[in-house]
Structure 1
Amino acid sequence: MEAIPPSGRQLELVHAGSSVTVVEVGGGPRDYRVDGVPVLDGYPLDAMASHGRGQLLAPWPNRIAGGRYRWGGATLQLPVSEPATGNAIHGLARWSAWDLERTGSASATASFTVHAQTGYPFTLDFRAEYALGDEGLAVTMTATNRSASAAPVGMGAHPYLFVPGPGGAPLPVDDATLTIPANRRLLVNEALIPIDAEEVAGGPFDFRAARPVGRLALDTCFADLRRDADGLARVVLAGESGEAGGGGTVIVWMDQAWEYIQIFTSDSLRGDERRRSIAVEPQTCPADAFNSGQGLRILEPGESFGGSWGIQPAR
């Protein structure tokens, strides 16, 4: 009997010199290459998606404090999936089998139904539409409430990006130049739950203009996003010398559905994974939105919401 890869069925999208592999488990991208050069810091076929690599996050991104929240006059308890902090993390769909459907040589959909369960007594359909083209990879995510009552919903994605250096070799995080179009960052407690917010202007977390990461450690949620004339917010990763130094850039863009960006410089990872790449995580709401209400979408029966984000490499 042929062994099944840990991430399940694999579906490869191809356009010109680019390829993206979307997987069944978690519904996310496992690999993305342009002319053979990796854009994503993904994972091999025979491995699980460590540290959330590429996973789609639903029906909430990030953490819920203690896995508990109040809804409809009752306290609901989710499974604690992050023992180190005692929180529920990254939703209920990241280790489940999504239904993959090819819609073209460079396009596909991944869909999954979160059924009512202990701690989340709602049924929702989630769908991700992938399209690989001249401008890179675009992902449109949609949530639809199939319950008979209103449901709290958030979504996110968790790609890790390499910083492209000269010749396509990835640069370490220390040598990256980063642009984050955000006016505020959220402050968190020891369990990584937001407790306040502050303006970034003039401080070490002010990346509104491109500047080197250096030794700064980021596991930070940014808010109050600045958007370009087309309505998109763009996070830009580049080598310190930029394209003039022979490297390139990678842009993660997101439309107005994504009001928050979590940036993680991989400092808590071990071995050669530490500070090897930067996770840029579009989120419709921040951590603990089920309790704070920040950015939380409450979908009525039959109601949908969604938005698009994408990865645009330029070498």
Structure 2
Amino acid sequence: MVSESPTGRQIVLRKGEQSAVVVELGGALRGYSVGGRPVLDGFSADERIVGGRGQVLVPWPNRIGGGRYRWNGEELRLPLTEPEKGNAIHGLLRWMSWQVVEEQEDRVLLGVTLWPQPGYPFHLHVRVEYTLEATGLAVAVVARNLGTGAAPYGVGQHPYLTVGTDLVDDAVLTLPARERLVVDDLGMPAAAEPVVGTPFDFRTPRAVGTQRLDTAFAELERDASGLAVVRLAHPSGSHGTDLWLGEGAEFVQVYTGDTLPEPARRRGIAVEPMSCPADAFRSRAGLVELEPGAEHVFRWGLRAWTERH
């Protein structure tokens, strides 16, 4: 049976007041709500994915400048999927069909094979697992190298958070990062800069305001359990969402959606956990050298909360 949705099969997960929808196209997370309140600014079943919403970014998140990099002495060239800036963006799997491997009422596991191809002659199997736990949604992306040589590897995901405000301007952001990555006009990191004393310091909660963000943050501060937690709260303080970054998630990109088409512009704020920053295939910053037979694990998740008085 052929799906009528442009994103393929819609897989609905439920647990108590929680509901999530995962799609076949790219293994993407389409939506997540708790108690009927949307946590994600996602997309509907009859919409195409715009702005990377919910997509899994493998084998690199963000951009590779010029789509060119060297690996083991070989010059490799990727398709330029951001042609206006001459970059390769967000990996190779977000427009592929992922297969359901296991499915339960509150959990789904999808998988896909990344075959050797021009620009990325490496052989990976990737799976993504979404689980509704008592505390929220947990996501794990696991890649295994099926090839005979080490492969360059990075991973990220692209959820947009909302707390129900018309624009992200009114939402209150808390971001436990000590550094931001300064980029050039093509989006390539040029330097790391401490956030202290700059408009990019969100370690103390404050409204996003009119600030435009398409910024990668590093040196994440973690709690006793090893998690870095980004919080987006309603201006009233009544409710919000914590996005936690766990194993393998060393960087986070925050994007206020200023370049999106209306009506999506600044409607939600993308908080993107990443294993490495932009251009890691060339800079090697945070890059994983995935050895033959080895696996890389990447974990993040969402916890919606309500302030009870």
**TM-score, structure 1 normalization:** 0.95
Look up the match of 2:302: 311
Of 206, 209, 213, the residue aligned with 2:204 is 209
C-alpha distance in 1 between matches for 2:166 and 2:221: 27
SS of the aligned residue for 2:282 comes to: helix
Correspondence 1:89-128 to 2 at 5 A: 89-128=89-128
1:2/1:156 CA distance change after superposition, 3 Å? closer
SS of the aligned residue for 1:26 comes to: coil
- 1:299 is aligned with what amino acid? L
C-alpha distance in 1 between matches for 2:101 and 2:122: 25
* Structure 1 segments unaligned to the other structure (5+ residues): none
Quick check: which one's helix share is greater? Answer: 1
- 1:149 is aligned with what amino acid? G
- 1:170 is aligned with what amino acid? T
Correspondence 1:143-222 to 2 at 5 A: 143-162=143-162, 164=163, 169-222=164-217
Q: Does 2:241 match 1:250?
A: yes
C-alpha distance in 1 between matches for 2:7 and 2:27: 9
C-alpha distance in 2 between matches for 1:212 and 1:142: 35
- 2:119 is aligned with what amino acid? G
C-alpha distance in 1 between matches for 2:155 and 2:280: 11
C-alpha distance in 2 between matches for 1:241 and 1:84: 40
Q: Is the 8 A contact 1:153 1:296 kept in 2?
A: yes
Q: Does 2:130 match 1:130?
A: yes
* Structure 2 segments unaligned to the other structure (5+ residues): none
Identical-pair percentage: 49
Q: Is the 8 A contact 1:58 1:93 kept in 2?
A: yes
4+ residue stretches of structure 1 with deviation over 4 A?
none
C-alpha distance in 2 between matches for 1:129 and 1:171: 31
SS of the aligned residue for 1:267 comes to: coil
SS of the aligned residue for 1:203 comes to: coil
- 2:129 is aligned with what amino acid? E
Q: Is the 8 A contact 2:165 2:171 kept in 1?
A: no
C-alpha distance in 1 between matches for 2:74 and 2:178: 36
SS of the aligned residue for 1:271 comes to: coil
Give the root-mean-square deviation of aligned CA atoms.
Answer: 1.2
How many equivalent residue pairs? 306
- 1:271 is aligned with what amino acid? E
**TM-score, structure 2 normalization:** 0.96
Q: Is the 8 A contact 1:11 1:100 kept in 2?
A: no
- 2:109 is aligned with what amino acid? T
Q: Is the 8 A contact 2:168 2:209 kept in 1?
A: yes
- 2:29 is aligned with what amino acid? P
